Amino acid sequence: MNVLAEILSSKIRAEIFRLLFGIITEELHMREIERRSGYAIGTIQTELKKLLRLDLVKKRKDGNRLYYRANKEHPLYPDIRSLVLKTIGLGDILKNR
């Protein structure tokens, strides 16, 4: 499968992009991603592994917890963030007002 197909082929991936590439670009613990997205932890783990392999997401370990954040150095970061803000992120903007 090519990189573009991997990036664009999942609803959960779109939700992870919304959380990590959206308005507030904070690092999130996996359980926080689960809570905010409403998806099962196993599904989130699978998608995060794919995003880590593509280097779109970075992780940081703190004790026994893993935190995830968007890789701002990745060449596709500005494009993915722009896409998120133009689509899914609009709802977040309106909710925060």
68: helix, strand or coil: strand
**Residue span of the structural domain in which 67 resides:** 3-95
pLDDT digits (tens, 9 = 90+) for 11-66: 888 889 989 998 877 899 999 999 999 999 999 999 999 999 999 999 999 998 99
Q: How many domains does the chain have?
A: 1
Has residue 1 got a pLDDT over 50? no
Say if residue 71 is exposed, middle or buried (CB neighbours under 10 Å; 0-12, 13-18, 19+). Answer: buried
| CATH number, residue 87 | 1.10.10.10
pTM: 0.81
